[in-house]
A = this chain, B = another copy of it.
Amino acid sequence: MEKKIITISREFGSGGRTIGHLVAEKLGIPFYDKELVDQIALESGFAPKFVEEHGEHSPGKSLLSYAFASQGVPGIMNGLSTADFLWNVQCSVILQLAEKGPCVIVGRNADYILKDRKDCLHAYIHADMDFRADRIVRLYGESEKSPEARLQEKDKRRRVNYQHYTGRTWGVSQNYDICLNSATIGVEACADIIVSLVNASK
């Protein structure tokens, strides 16, 4: 069956976002990243920055979540924690975007949200710590924390979020059609492999 929707899950710093962008460009289809955040922000009423920071990270256990939840507007958040409310909106937006037509969606557990559609290709991008540490310093600059500590923290938050909302284990190959190590294969080559798989499915 033709693969129209490509979801790309990725370890922080692995180049998954860049790969998604390249795939969308090469296939001439929309790439949802910023647009996805904006749409979720619009439908949830949260600021885009908040959606960006919490959409893949919070399983509803942060103090902030509880603070928000306790002040939630009845009838809008329906008594859900901020994180659960955000998850519901995220699911709905991703399902709607997939209905619109071919696209590339990066992150936000889209592999799970779209698991029942047969026209999806689910890819996972990972890389070893050195490659990712070097990459985040080049792309996002230095910070107080070491790049390794930043990676471990982000990995942990994405892993916990994924497990919490999907019941699956993050990074297990069986959840995806293809998993690629961008450090050994190369970012461009990863994109080319995904594009060739999509083209072969047509």
Contact = CB atoms under 8 A, between A and B. Distances in A.
Interface of A: 121, 124, 126, 171-174, 176-181, 184-185, 189, 193, 196-197, 200
B200 A189 contact: yes
Given A172-B171, A197-B189, A200-B189, A178 B179 contact: yes
Enumerate the 5 nearest inter-chain pairs by beta-carbon distance, A residue then B residue, closest first: A173-B179, A179-B179, A173-B173, A177-B181, A177-B184
A180 B173 CA distance: 8
A197 B185 contact: yes
A179 to B, nearest CB: 4
Given A189-B197, A193-B193, A197-B189, A176 B179 contact: yes
Contact of A174 (B171, B177, B189): B171
The count of identical subunits is: 2
B177 A185 contact: yes
Contact of A124 (B121, B173, B200): B173
Nearest to A200: B189
Contacts of A189: 197, 200
Contacts of A193: 193, 196-197
Contacts of A172: 171-173
A117 to B, nearest CB: 12
B174 A126 contact: yes
Nearest to A183: B177
Contacts of A124: 173, 179
